[in-house]
Amino acid sequence: MELEFLGTGAGMPSKGRNTSSLALKLYEERGTIWLFDCGEATQHQILRTAIKPRKIEKIFITHLHGDHIFGLPGLLSSRSFLGGEEPTPLTLYGPSGLKGWVHFTLELTKTHLNYPIRFVEIEEGIIFEDEQFIVKAKELEHVIPCYGFRIEQKPLPGELYIEKALKLGVPKGPMLGKLKNGEDVVLDNGTIVYSKEVTGPPKKGFVVTVLGDTTYCRKSIELSKDADVVIHEATFDHATANLAKDYGHSTNVEAAKMAKEAGAKYLILNHLSARFLPHDIEKLLKEAKQVFPNVFVAHDFSKFHWKNGKLNELYF
């Protein structure tokens, strides 16, 4: 799993930060990308990455403020004009009103899409589940309805004890794969080899929490409970905490406090105000680390790789 930030600013684009968008790259897990929010010029940001828009399988919209959705019509339209393979079927998740806004915009501009879009206007609870993942949503505390998402990877197959399986007569080939995936197999002589006999216990999947704009609130903590990675806004700093609540936002310190109370492993600060210049970022990070040590600050095009229980920031 890899996270790539396409826009990390708040409210409007600045020279250093575009408006909100985050790609959860699930190439190893399912060969696709999940996008969280799609602020203005997201498709321009994508042009500077290796991301293929046709690989985007799901787009999750936290709320309907412009800095989180104004890039959506353009991205949906451009996706129709890209050559090569057929686009991955696309599902859009978001608050009530998202479907009407997208349909009206596309109809008014006579934009034709060559692929179908499925809309899911969300409420609190499980909004997606298959054999690999569960996605849960809760409404946060902002000035308009705004959601946070908890992405849970289901347990992975345990280690296959190949030598043990071979000793039981399992031939090299597809049967070993079936055993690793939890299926029992029948040998040519009629012997049944049970998966549990030749595999270790299931491995825990990762949990990523992506929070939309919000003040410090209980539901953020609930969504982030024991999460491996939490992405949380930090529109304000400790010195401007009085403004944060007035505008439905959080500070860097409040984000760190939330992550600590939730028992999360890592926190990534996102959605930073343009008031913070490059030389302010180290101070933001230092303040947050006084509360919660495992903190990163996201920049546009920051990449983070999750592997073997650790989050690493990738540098190029």
Residues 10 and 7: their CA atoms lie apart, in Å, by 9
Q: Is 176 exposed, middle or buried (0-12, 13-18, 19+ CB in 10 A)?
A: middle
- 2-156+204-307 carries CATH number 3.60.15.10: yes
pTM more than 0.95: no
Report the binding-site residues for Zn(2+): 63, 65, 67-68, 142, 213, 271
Q: What is the pLDDT of residue 157?
A: 85
- Contact in structure between 106 and 132 (CB atoms under 8 Å): no
Q: What is the pLDDT of residues 47-78, one digit of tens each?
A: 999 999 999 999 999 999 999 999 999 999 99
Q: What is the mean pLDDT of residues 230-258?
A: 93
DSSP string, 25-62: EEHHHHSEEEEE---TTHHHHHTTSS--GGGEEEEE--
Q: What is the pLDDT of residue 177?
A: 87
Mean pLDDT of the chain: 94
Q: What is the mean pLDDT of residues 226-238?
A: 96
Q: Is 288 exposed, middle or buried (0-12, 13-18, 19+ CB in 10 A)?
A: buried
Report the binding-site residues: 63, 65, 67-68, 142, 213, 271
For residues 145-156, b (16+ Cβ closer than 10 Å) or e, as one string? bbbbbbbbbeee
Which residues form the catalytic set? 67
Q: Which among 1, 41, 2 has a CA at the least distance from the CA of 21?
A: 41
Q: What is the pLDDT of residue 243?
A: 86
Q: What is the pLDDT of residues 144-189, one digit of tens each?
A: 999 999 999 999 988 899 999 899 999 999 999 899 888 899 998 9
Which residues are within 8 A (CB) of 167 and not within 5 positions of it... i.e. 6 or more apart? none
Q: Which residue has the tokens 């479907």?
A: 99
Residue 83 pLDDT class (50, 70, 90 cuts): low
Q: What is the pLDDT of residue 84?
A: 61
Q: What is the pLDDT of residues 254-271, one digit of tens each?
A: 999 999 999 999 999 999
Q: Which residue has the tokens 């790789």?
A: 305
Q: What is the pLDDT of residues 24-37, one digit of tens each?
A: 999 999 999 999 99
Residue 240 pLDDT class (50, 70, 90 cuts): confident
Q: Which among 37, 49, 27 has a CA at the least distance from the CA of 303?
A: 49
Cα distances from 87 to residues 39, 53, 63, 72, in angstroms, run: 21, 8, 25, 16
- Please give the structure tokens belonging to residue 168: 């039981």
Residue 85 has pLDDT above 80, yes or no: no
Q: Where are the domains of the chain?
A: 2-156+204-307, 162-198
Q: How many CB atoms lie within 10 A of CB 227?
A: 23
The letter for the amino acid at 172 is K
